C-alpha cells in the first residue's frame, strides 16, 4: 500500500492547528498561537522532512483568517519549496450544500460537515464550540444546510466585561455544584455554560423536527469537552474534526486525479 503523508493546517482566528496524517490515520496534532509564526514554520518544516519516505506528500491549509494564512503560506513555500494547497480554492470541500446563492459559509464549518459525513454517512448535527459556536445540520444525503452561529463561551464573558461597568474579567470554566450563581462571577459562568448547552439542545430539537428524524450529534472544538462531555444529546466528541475534514478533501482530490489519469 502506498503511503501518503499529509500535513493539515487549520488557521483559526487566534490559533493555528497542525496535524500530521499518514494515509487516513491522524498521527500528531499541535496547537500554536497565530502570532508565533516561527514555531509553526519550524514544526511544519520538521514534519515535512520527517515524511520524506512517503510515496506522496502534501501540505493543505484551511483558514478563517486570510491575513495570517497568507503570511504563513508565503513563508512555508519559501522554506519548503513546494506548493501549499488551499482548501476551498485549490481543493474543493467534498460536501453538498443547500444554502442561499450568495451565502459564503466558513470553510471550517464545511470541513467539519465533510468529516462528519465521511465518518457517519447519515444525517447529523455538528457542534463546533470554539471562539464562536456553530451548530449545523447535514442531511442523510450528505448535504450541508447551514445552521446557527453564536458567540463562544469566552467571547460572551469578554463581551459582558467590556460592555458593562461592573462585571468582572473572567476566563471560562465549567460551573460546579448547585445551580444558583450566588456571586457575580458564578452567575456569569452559569449563564454562559447553560446558555450554550441550551442553545444546542434547542437547535437539535428544531433540526430533528424539520427533518422528521433524530440525527446523530457530533461536537468538536476547544470548548467541546467542557461543554458537552456529559451531554445526553451529544453522541460523539471528535477532536480535530476540521483537520480530519482537510484529510477527507485531500483524499477525494487524489481519487479524482487518479480517475482522471486512468
Catalytic residues: 108
d(CA 20, CA 4): 10
Contacts (Cβ under 8 Å, ≥6 apart) of 103: 97, 146
Q: Which of 63, 67, 112, 116 is nearest to 90 (CA)?
A: 63
End-to-end C-alpha distance for the chain, whole angstroms? 19
Q: Cα angle at 15 between 249 and 115, to 5 degrees? A: 25
b/e 53-85 (16+ beta carbons within 10 angstroms → b): eeeebbbbbbbbbeebbeebbebbeeebeeebb
**Pairs from 145-153 (Cβ < 8 Å, separation ≥ 24):** 145/98, 145/99, 146/98, 146/99, 146/103, 146/105, 147/109, 147/203, 147/207, 148/199, 148/203, 150/196, 150/199, 152/196, 152/223, 153/129, 153/192, 153/193, 153/196, 153/223, 153/227
Is there a contact between 119 and 21 (Cβ–Cβ < 8 Å)? Answer: no
Q: How many alpha carbons fall within 13 Å on the CB side of residue 124?
A: 23
Amino acid at each position: 500500500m502506498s503511503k501518503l503523508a499529509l500535513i493539515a493546517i487549520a488557521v483559526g482566528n487566534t490559533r493555528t492547528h497542525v496535524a500530521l496524517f499518514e494515509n487516513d490515520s491522524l498521527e500528531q496534532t499541535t496547537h500554536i498561537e497565530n502570532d508565533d509564526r516561527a514555531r509553526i514554520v519550524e514544526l511544519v518544516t520538521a514534519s515535512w522532512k520527517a515524511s520524506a519516505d512517503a510515496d506522496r506528500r502534501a501540505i493543505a491549509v484551511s483558514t478563517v483568517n486570510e491575513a495570517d494564512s497568507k503570511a504563513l503560506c508565503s513563508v512555508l513555500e519559501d522554506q519548503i519549496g513546494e506548493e501549499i494547497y488551499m482548501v476551498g480554492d485549490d481543493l474543493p470541500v467534498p460536501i453538498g450544500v443547500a444554502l442561499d446563492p450568495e451565502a459564503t459559509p466558513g470553510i471550517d464549518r464545511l470541513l467539519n460537515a465533510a468529516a462528519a459525513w465521511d465518518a457517519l454517512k447519515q444525517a447529523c448535527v455538528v457542534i463546533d464550540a470554539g471562539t464562536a459556536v456553530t451548530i449545523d445540520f447535514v442531511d442523510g444525503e450528505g448535504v450541508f444546510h447551514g445552521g446557527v452561529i453564536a458567540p463562544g463561551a469566552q467571547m460572551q464573558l469578554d463581551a459582558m466585561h467590556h460592555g458593562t461597568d461592573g462585571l468582572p474579567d473572567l476566563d471560562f470554566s465549567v460551573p460546579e455544584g448547585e445551580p444558583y450563581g450566588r456571586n457575580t462571577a458564578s452567575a456569569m459562568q452559569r449563564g454562559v455554560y447553560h446558555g450554550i448547552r441550551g442553545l444546542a439542545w434547542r437547535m437539535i430539537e428544531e433540526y430533528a423536527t424539520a427533518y422528521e428524524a433524530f440525527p446523530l450529534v457530533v461536537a468538536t472544538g476547544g470548548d467541546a469537552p467542557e461543554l458537552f462531555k456529559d451531554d445526553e444529546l451529544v453522541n460523539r466528541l471528535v477532536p480535530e474534526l476540521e483537520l480530519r475534514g482537510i484529510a477527507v478533501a485531500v483524499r477525494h482530490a487524489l481519487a479524482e486525479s487518479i480517475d482522471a489519469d486512468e
